[in-house]
Chains A and B, each alone.
Chain A
Amino acid sequence: MGFGPYLLLATLEGLVQAAVLSITAAGLSLVFGVMRVVNVAHGEFVMLGAVIAWFTASLLTGHPAMGFAAALLVSPLLVGAVAFASERVVLRRLDYNPEATIVATIGLLYILQQTVLLVYGPDARPVDPPFYYTIRFPWFGYSAYKLFVIGAAIVIMGGIWFVLQKTRAGLVMRAAQYDRETAQAFGIPVDRVSAWVFALGAMLAAIAGVLVVPIQQAHYLMGADPLLLSFIVVIIGGLGSMSGTVLAAVLVGLSDGIISMMFSPTLAKMVSTLLVALVLVFRPNGLLGKAAR
């Protein structure tokens, strides 16, 4: 395979990565934007979404598309419920103090991860994609499911944009993000909004988990990479900015995909992590610093 086709393949892989990443990062960004909570357990919501997808798909015999569709419905709902409960029981009582909530979400990370290990076990298990179809390029065949993931991401990101910009719920969220106290003074129940936003962020992560599981298999440790990459994306993209998040997800996803294929996945992550740490340091008030007031 020549360099051109190889680059095309790497780009496609990068786009799939970017698609999943933009959904995950949108959830993280939303939670950070509205609640000022850095959710270290976000990657575990992706993992939980994937694992629940496996359970759902294995319960439903029949056409794989049935199981997949059911998973796409059940998984975000369950994960959202878990997130909602943990927000009510833990985060709210900490009064959204930034340091305390980070420590609490680290605790949540271990609780979710280790509970899945207890219930689901240490194996990685695949879920059948809803359809098997390979698009034949002149040089290689490419799974149509992966292209479906890209399409799904575009639809979901469009949906988020619509909800945030065009609906009343979105207005309430943006108000809470813009100025929590003033929003409260105008009668917006900021406290309850926080719980819903936390659940919504987790549901987005779960959707990403369901979408990725036919490509990647469900495993109890799979949450680490999405967490790290979403951090990177959210920091580069700027907080709470959905367009920034999408742009950064495409950039990071593409570069990660291409460097991973051309060089090594470990090197790709090292480079992007280091770069982002430096972005954070040298733009202390620009990107994440806004939250540190």
Chain B
Amino acid sequence: MSRAAFARNAWLVLAVLAVLFSLQFVLPDYQVLMATRMMLLAVFALGFNALLGYVGLLSLGHALFFACGLYASGLTVYHFGWGLPAAFVFAVGASAVLALLIGAVALRTIRVSFMIVTLMFAQVGALTVLYFAAWTNGQEGLSLPASARVADLGVATLDLTDALTRYNIAYGLLAASLLILLVYLGSARGRIATAVRDNEGRTEMLGFNVFAAKLEMFVLSGAMSGAAGAAYGLLFGYLGATFASFQYSIEPLLFTLLGGAGTLLGPLVGVLFMVGLIDKLSELTTAYLLVIGVVLIVLILWFPKGILGTVRERWLPWLM
């Protein structure tokens, strides 16, 4: 990618981030809450897209990392009374280590086998949450007490029951994730990843360590998903087994496909459309997940490049 193209992408990301920051002054209360959720789910989807869009690996088990972050942070706070920053850092670390272990094993497989293996590991994760119900309270889940929702940073105290505080934390996490990905993908190491996606055999022939490149992205992806999960648990104060379920492995896939796999901002766009749609429908009917099925099939049949993928193809070829 040329320097000019990279600069354009950087400006675009910064512009989007500026808009998102200013939204908190205009949005009404309910929508601030919704936007907070969306930004965290977008971080999750960004992590997922790092793997699907830039190395070409479709994981069906990313709920595992989301739930790992969620429980690693939430349980340390709930049972051991850890401070929120420590719990968050621990959770991101735990997710990265888990991703390293799972990746080292799962990346030995390819294509369909990789999808099934990741799905199965995630299933083991979901069952683990249920099995240790004494700690996690299983399906019902745990609510963090109000006292555990205040972060003492030394210089300032963050009250996570405050909507704007939550918004800005989620915003910070999203901004950090986007910038990390932007820099990583623009770097030489990031290009090896996309080379693996485009032609794995050729990349290997050129002397690059394909397995290491995949594993690196897998760990980055897992850590990012874990960070999203950790923030989700701490900000909203609820840990439940649903977050480890198959549905949470499929949602980032859905967001990514809709927004455009392999586009930096695609997952964010996907979340914007989908989460709103899912929330609206859930007010109308209990069977709101029907929309996930319909959208998945429509996308895969007629719109496989997604929104930003199509935009890139038609109008903006420099889009990252």
Contacts and interface: CB of A to CB of B under 8 A. Distances in A.
A interacts with B: yes
Interface in B282-320: 285-290, 292-297, 300-301, 304
Interface in A102-119: 102-104, 106-115, 117-118
A107 B58 CA distance: 15
B296 A103 contact: yes
Contacts of B116: 38, 231, 235, 280, 288
Given A107-B297, A266-B130, A277 B120 contact: yes
B287 A108 contact: no
A273 B120 contact: yes
Interface in B48-91: 58, 60
A281 interface: yes
Contact of B117 (A93, A111, A267, A281): A281
Interface string A32-66: 00000010000000000000000000000000000
B106 interface: yes
A91 to B, nearest CB: 10
Contacts of B300: 94, 100, 103-104, 107
A284 B113 contact: yes
A141 to B, nearest CB: 31
A111 B288 CA distance: 10
B108 interface: yes
Given A110-B292, A280-B109, A270 B297 contact: no
Given A90-B297, A284-B110, A102 B289 contact: no
B98 interface: no
A28 to B, nearest CB: 12
A109 B131 CA distance: 26
Given A93-B301, A292-B113, A266 B131 contact: yes
B88 to A, nearest CB: 28
Interface string A153-187: 00000000000000000000000000000000000
Contacts of B213: none
A264 B301 CA distance: 42
Interface string A126-146: 000000000000000000000
A274 interface: yes
A228 interface: yes
A231 B123 CA distance: 12
Given A224-B246, A284-B110, A108 B297 contact: yes
B257 interface: yes
B10 to A, nearest CB: 31
Contacts of B304: 100
Given A100-B304, A270-B124, A270-B127, A107 B296 contact: yes
Interface of B: 58, 60, 105-106, 108-113, 115-117, 120-121, 123-124, 127-128, 130-131, 246, 250, 253, 257, 285-290, 292-297, 300-301, 304
Given A231-B120, A281-B117, 5 more contacts: A98-B111, A104-B296, A104-B301, A107-B295, A235-B116
